[in-house]
Structure 1
Amino acid sequence: MGQSGAFWSGLKKAKPYLAMVSLQFGYAGMYIITLVSLNHGMNHYVLAVYRHVVATLLIAPFAFVLERKIRPKLTLPIFLRIMALGFLEPVLDQNLYYVGMKSTSATFASATVNILPAITFIMALAFRLEKVNVKKIQSLAKVIGTAVTVGGAMVMTLYKGPIVDFMRSGGTSHPHAGGDGPHQSTNQHWVTGTLMLLASCCGWSGFFILQSFTLKKYPAELSLTALICLMGSVEGAAVTLVMERNMNVWRIGWDSRLLAAVYSGVVCSGIAYYVQGVVIKERGPVFITSFSPLCMIITAALGAIVLAETIHLGSIIGAIFIVCGLYIVVWGKSKERQAESTTALMPDEKVPTSELPITDVRTSNGGREVQKQVDMPRISGKNHLHQES
């Protein structure tokens, strides 16, 4: 029983770690499957629409049943915010991301996503959701980490460098690759793709900021997620009809295109929302953010093995800067949370000292001091103890 209890106790403590590691494998698989489907002719506008249709069908029943008693009334201001949320992430972010990934590589795209916490931090400062005091080391760490992360993204954008062949593939390359890079595109295409990825991160950060404000007015996570996915499907379909006049782009068969839509919808827009919500309640958002570099490493390994992607020195250097900057920001945030929790406990710690229910009164008994405990009434404010001699 003792060993069994220790095993289950250890498993319970390891559940958040196992959940986040599994989720990073899920995201890495999405990057690979999505790029394969795009290379096989899948339209990125259609992929974004189908992904959120699948996510809506998955989440809506759970939201309807589990939140039927706590779901707030949907007012016009909240509905307008949901429309904006449905455009920022399902339409703007994902389409820019798919275009950028197709112009670069799955490995590069997953590495660029590590700049997301830094962009979110800058936006949070602008909307006064974050505070910075340069006199405190934790606040200074957030600023320095953000600068290092942005610098890493600039290195990845402006410097490609020689190819680093970890797998010794002997000339194998990406399906779109030529002799000088991961695609037969020019350096201009590579820079354009990187800018698309950075713009998608800005859209995703804006989504997080607006979502934090919306949840205060509409505190029903599952219902909000289902409505966002629904509005993203509708708005994405409208954008697709404007951008793509050929109706054949909507056709998908039993191939990688269907797999990409179902996989990304179920794993990355359905299960991911639930897992992140559970872990956030237990460990907080800083814990989740710290696992982002793991996804980049997994994607790089899968990309080199499955897609025979070429990895450039500039991508490695930039990724190292991004990871270092990210962990500096995470360290600063964790220290800041510890300081805030300590400050919040200070008033509670002082209450027993100002309102003593028991006091010691020493009386003489034959030359000896006898210590008695006398119950004193609790009085709000200052307690005045009167001793009689």
Structure 2
Amino acid sequence: MGVGKVMNDVKPYLAMVLLQVGFSGMYILSVASLKRGMNHFVLVVYRNLVATVVMAPLALIFERGVRPKMTPLIFLKIMGLAVLEPVLDQNMYYLGAKLTSATFASALVNILPAITFLMALVMRMEKLRLRSLRSQAKVVGTVCTVAGAVLMILYHGPVVPFPWSAGHHHAAAAAVESQSSASWLNGTVMIIGSCLCWSGFFILQSNTLQSYPAELTLATLICFLGSVLTGGVALVAERHDMSAWVIGFDTRLFTAVYSGIVCSGVAFYVQGIVTQARGPVFVTAFQPLVMIITTVLGSTILKEETTLGSVIGAVIIVVGLYCLIWGKSKDHLGNGKPGAAAVAGELPLTSAPAANGNGYGKHAALGGGHHVTSGVETPPRSVPKCVH
């Protein structure tokens, strides 16, 4: 019994760690393809088309009998998710990474949990009591994260050589110096904008899953609508260059397929399950792993170098991030006891609909079903009817 409980508790952590490894590969592949001439609008379209083709059969097979009824409000929420993530976030991130570097982009994205926390606070999905130690940790963590991001933007400093990149240190340093400040600043703004959209996506996804708890179907619909919307954007943006749509059997094709399967289809599904179990802040708390992996791969494969400002800023961000994680972990422990959330004055960021005869809550095992609904009761009216 004890081993089973431990395994249930470990599943969300393992799922998110593996997902970060997948994202690291996408960052390296996408930057390599973009710097070799691939259009970022086209990449987003192909990525979401691949994800739709892969996820649709799984949704039809595994969620045939438990798919909730589609309502106009739910459809509008899904449309909003498609606009926030495929249309805005992916395009802004790819453009920002192209104008800066994979290493810098993966480091700056660590502000994501702090932005998500602030959004959750504004949306009243998160409550603060400044006399509470865990609330103080969240505030300190958020401030440190923002300070680290500002430092990365304002201060570059000398290039920091890594042992495995000594051979191309001087060439990379020259490349960093030759990159225009305007280009770097524009790329930074794009990455921050993508983080805002991504955080909004997590918050809206958490809300949508409460009334539409069909993760595979939701992921499929997001990718499908995303491919349609980004296709329209790409056609308008590249109307004078139709050759941008042509890709061969090379890195560009592999990037689109890999990103579509791992980082859109699978990622949306896994993030949806873990969001139900632990909340959106938990989902975004594993970003530093991406930074570490991408830094190593970027300096080795893409011959990128990291500046001193990026290193110092990233360290500050990670320190702040884990202050925030510590505060959220205390929330989770408190919510595991009946009434603890109310006593502490804190609410979990989200709660999944309770498992019932219709089959909802079948994915709760990933986060340990006992964590999902404990301390929070879901009103019966919030459970949508099934379409049989």
Q: TM-score range by the shorter chain?
A: 0.7 to 0.9
Larger Rg: 1
Query: Tell me, what secondary structure is at the counterpart of 2:64?
Result: coil
Q: Deviations over 1:68-110 (max 9, x none)?
A: 2121222222222221211110010011101110111101111
Q: State the Cα distance separating 1:339 from its structure 2 match.
A: 2.8
CA contact (8 A) 2:99 2:187 kept: yes
**Which of 335-344 and 204-213 deviates more?**
335-344
1:306 corresponds to: 301
- Which of 257, 266, 270 is 1:271 aligned to? 266
Q: Deviations over 1:296-329 (max 9, x none)?
A: 1010000111111011000001100110111000
1:157 corresponds to: 153
1:31 corresponds to: 27
Q: How does 1:352-367 map to 2 (within 5 A)?
A: none
- Aligned partner of 1:313: which letter? L
Over 3 Å counting, the alpha-carbon distance change for 1:70 and 1:183 in structure 2 is: farther
**Structure 2 Cα separation of the partners of residues 35 and 41 of structure 1:** 10
Query: Tell me, what secondary structure is at the counterpart of 1:342?
Result: coil
- Which of 208, 213, 236 is 2:207 aligned to? 213
- Which of 337, 342, 354 is 2:332 aligned to? 337
1:321 corresponds to: 316
Answer yes or no: is 1:201 the counterpart of 2:195: yes
- Aligned partner of 1:308: which letter? K
CA contact (8 A) 1:167 1:304 kept: no
Q: State the Cα distance separating 1:253 from its structure 2 match.
A: 0.4
1:141 corresponds to: 137
Q: Deviations over 1:160-179 (max 9, x none)?
A: 111001136456269xx764
CA contact (8 A) 1:103 1:183 kept: no
- Aligned partner of 1:73: which letter? K
Q: State the Cα distance separating 1:285 from its structure 2 match.
A: 5.6
Query: Tell me, what secondary structure is at the counterpart of 1:154?
Result: helix
Gaps of 5+ in 2: 343-388
**Structure 1 Cα separation of the partners of residues 185 and 95 of structure 2:** 12
**Structure 2 Cα separation of the partners of residues 230 and 20 of structure 1:** 24
1:41 corresponds to: 37
Over 3 Å counting, the alpha-carbon distance change for 1:17 and 1:83 in structure 2 is: closer
1:77 corresponds to: 73
**Structure 2 Cα separation of the partners of residues 54 and 316 of structure 1:** 35
Q: How does 1:28-177 map to 2 (within 5 A)?
A: 28-167=24-163, 169-170=165-166, 172=168
Query: Tell me, what secondary structure is at the counterpart of 1:227?
Result: helix
- Aligned partner of 2:75: which letter? F
**Structure 1 Cα separation of the partners of residues 227 and 53 of structure 2:** 11
Over 3 Å counting, the alpha-carbon distance change for 1:75 and 1:287 in structure 2 is: closer
**Structure 2 Cα separation of the partners of residues 254 and 101 of structure 1:** 23
Over 3 Å counting, the alpha-carbon distance change for 1:79 and 1:275 in structure 2 is: closer
- Aligned partner of 1:226: which letter? T
Over 3 Å counting, the alpha-carbon distance change for 1:133 and 1:55 in structure 2 is: same
1:236 corresponds to: 230
CA contact (8 A) 2:278 2:332 kept: no
CA contact (8 A) 2:113 2:285 kept: no
Over 3 Å counting, the alpha-carbon distance change for 1:346 and 1:298 in structure 2 is: closer
- Which of 250, 255, 259 is 1:260 aligned to? 255
TM-score (normalised: structure 1): 0.80
Q: Deviations over 1:198-225 (max 9, x none)?
A: 0100011111122222222222111111
Query: Tell me, what secondary structure is at the counterpart of 1:316?
Result: helix
Q: Deviations over 1:43-67 (max 9, x none)?
A: 0000001000000111111111211
1:370 corresponds to: none
CA contact (8 A) 1:124 1:209 kept: yes
Gaps of 5+ in 1: 1-5, 348-389
Over 3 Å counting, the alpha-carbon distance change for 1:211 and 1:285 in structure 2 is: closer
Percent of counterpart pairs with the same letter? 55
**Structure 2 Cα separation of the partners of residues 337 and 346 of structure 1:** 9
Query: Tell me, what secondary structure is at the counterpart of 1:252?
Result: coil
**Which of 72-81 and 53-62 deviates more?**
72-81
**Structure 2 Cα separation of the partners of residues 286 and 112 of structure 1:** 17
**Which of 331-340 and 311-320 deviates more?**
331-340
Q: State the Cα distance separating 1:113 from its structure 2 match.
A: 1.4
- Aligned partner of 1:54: which letter? V
- Aligned partner of 1:31: which letter? Y
CA contact (8 A) 1:26 1:268 kept: yes
CA contact (8 A) 2:31 2:98 kept: yes
Aligned-residue RMSD, C-alpha? 2.7
Query: Tell me, what secondary structure is at the counterpart of 2:178?
Result: coil
CA contact (8 A) 1:120 1:209 kept: yes
**Structure 1 Cα separation of the partners of residues 226 and 59 of structure 2:** 17
